[in-house]
Amino acid sequence: MTSVGHRLASLSSHFSGNSESQMKIVVCRDLGPDVMPLLRSRSELEIVVWPHDRPSERKWLLENINGATGLIVVFGEAVTPELLEAAGPNLRVVSTMSVGYEHIDLTAVAARGIKVGYTPDVLTDAVADLSIMLALMASRNAGETMSLVQSGHWPLHSWSPFGFCGPQLSSDGTTKPRTIGFLGFGRIAQATLARLIPFGVKRVIYTGSPSSPPTLERDQALAKEYKLDSLLRVDIAELATESDVLFVLAPGGPKTRHIVNEEVLRKMKKTAILVNASRGTLVDSDALAKALREKWIWGAGIDVVEGEPQVGIDHCLVKEPRCVVLPHIGSATLETRLAMATLAAKNVLAGVFGEPLPSELNLKG
């Protein structure tokens, strides 16, 4: 057979579904009936899926990753040098169905020239919605009062003029306007601000990354759009001292670990509310529990906890009545999770076929 004939035969085998010529994609969680067809409809691909709705077992992943060209993970799967070594030289792309990527060894994947896809932007609205919910729940003692009903103790509780009262978020001009603070002022923080405008918010302060460039023009535009009295960038000490509600919406990582610590919490107002919907590592749990217990601040609403999901009933924050703790559900809307799964699938497909990823993490920065 001529060389041309060999090549045609090879191409025919490649697109006919021959498993020897198919590129393998390992998927560590079934992405559902609306998304899996994006992968399974491609005859050039062999799709290997972990069949259970829980993190894949490490043994299974190490056994199945060999020879894979693409990998889709969620937070439960750590992408380590060991895993990359088991995958072998064919691996081109790791796609995570998350905006965070702490579970991926970026140095190791970059050294092997592997692309990383992630899912920012699509969860902005969902997390912003949740941030407002947490602020309201914490300020109005939702955790404490809901437990009163759920425990059956409501009939035993006698009404009092100031019972279960908390600081009001909204201001109609007759009450003192709230100062809203943001630790981190990216997409989600700005979307959260947009949702706060109907509450009568007029003064906003924030702390950004020390390495980020000045954003005076953007801040002036936002202040004009939302008719704010002021929108100022401040240092973290002033952020803590002045904020009535402090939203923690910054990236995780070593540089921001425990950025909200005892020193910061002691500076806050006794009527202040702390909301964390970003990463659990940003807030020192022990310090926050102490702040709530000793009433340095009014309350807290958190969707993320350091060490999650290993958070039981004996956790220091779970024990605090004025701390609303949710199990990391910031992106948990049907629309958002579908968008995240779809983007994760499109990222892996683009990486496997040598195309630009719709949402690629910059590993050179």
Q: pLDDT digit string (tens) for 137-190?
A: 999 999 999 999 999 999 998 889 999 999 999 987 767 789 999 999 999 999
Q: Per the confidence metrics, is the pTM higher than 0.85?
A: yes
Backbone angles phi, psi at 49, to 5 degrees: -120, 130
30-50 burial string, b = 16+ CB within 10 Å, else e?
ebeeebbebbeebeebbbbbb
Say whether pLDDT at 69 is over 60: yes
Q: pLDDT digit string (tens) for 311-360?
A: 999 999 999 999 999 999 999 999 999 999 999 999 999 999 999 999 99
275: which residues sit within 8 A by CB, 6+ positions away? Answer: 131, 134, 135, 138, 245, 246, 247, 248, 300, 301, 302
Q: Average pLDDT in the 48-73 region?
A: 96
Q: What is the pLDDT of residue 203?
A: 96
User: Residue with structure tokens 């019972």?
Assistant: 163
Q: Measure Cα distances from 329 to 122, 129, 325, 337 in Å.
A: 14, 11, 10, 11
Q: Average pLDDT in the 182-201 region?
A: 96
The domain 3-122+336-352 belongs to what CATH superfamily?
NAD(P)-binding Rossmann-like Domain (3.40.50.720)
Q: Catalytic residue among 14, 157, 315, 328, which? A: 328
Q: What is the pLDDT of residue 75?
A: 83
Mean pLDDT, the chain, whole residue set:
92
| Of residues 5 and 86, more confidently modeled | 86
Q: pLDDT digit string (tens) for 70-103?
A: 999 998 899 999 999 999 999 999 999 998 898 9
Q: What is the pLDDT of residue 171?
A: 84
Q: What is the pLDDT of residue 10?
A: 35
Where in the chain do CATH 3.40.50.720 domains reside? 3-122+336-352, 124-151+164-325
Q: Report the percentage of the chain scoring pLDDT > 90.
A: 84
Backbone angles phi, psi at 116, to 5 degrees: -125, 120
At residue 365 the predicted structure's pLDDT band, cuts being 50, 70 and 90, is: low
Q: What is the pLDDT of residue 211?
A: 80
Q: What is the pLDDT of residue 44?
A: 95
Angle (nearest 5°) at CA 355 between 354 and 359: 125
| Of residues 11 and 57, more confidently modeled | 57
Cis-peptide, bond into residue 214, ω within 30° of zero: no
Distance CA 164, CA 207 (A): 32
52 is catalytic: no
| Of residues 2 and 277, more confidently modeled | 277
Q: pLDDT digit string (tens) for 253-309?
A: 889 999 999 999 999 999 999 999 999 999 999 999 999 999 999 999 999 999 999
CB 245 within 8 A of CB 135: yes
Instruction: Look up residue 360 and give its DSSP letter.
Output: B
What are the helix and strand counts (H, E) for the chain? 13, 12
Alpha helices in 140-274 (DSSP H): 142-150, 187-196, 216-226, 236-242, 262-267
Say whether pLDDT at 11 is over 80: no
Compute CA 186 distance to the chain's CA centroid, rounded to the nearest angstrom.
13
At residue 16 the predicted structure's pLDDT band, cuts being 50, 70 and 90, is: very low
Say whether pLDDT at 223 is over 90: yes
Which helix (H) or strand (E) covers residue 229, if one does?
A: none
Residue type, 126: A
Q: What is the pLDDT of residue 123?
A: 94
Alpha helices in the chain (DSSP H): 3-15, 36-40, 58-64, 81-87, 106-111, 124-139, 142-150, 187-196, 216-226, 236-242, 262-267, 285-293, 334-352
The domain 124-151+164-325 belongs to what CATH superfamily?
NAD(P)-binding Rossmann-like Domain (3.40.50.720)
Q: What is the pLDDT of residue 207?
A: 96
CB 200 within 8 A of CB 193: no
CB 84 within 8 A of CB 113: no
22: which residues sit within 8 A by CB, 6+ positions away? Answer: 14, 43, 44, 45, 46
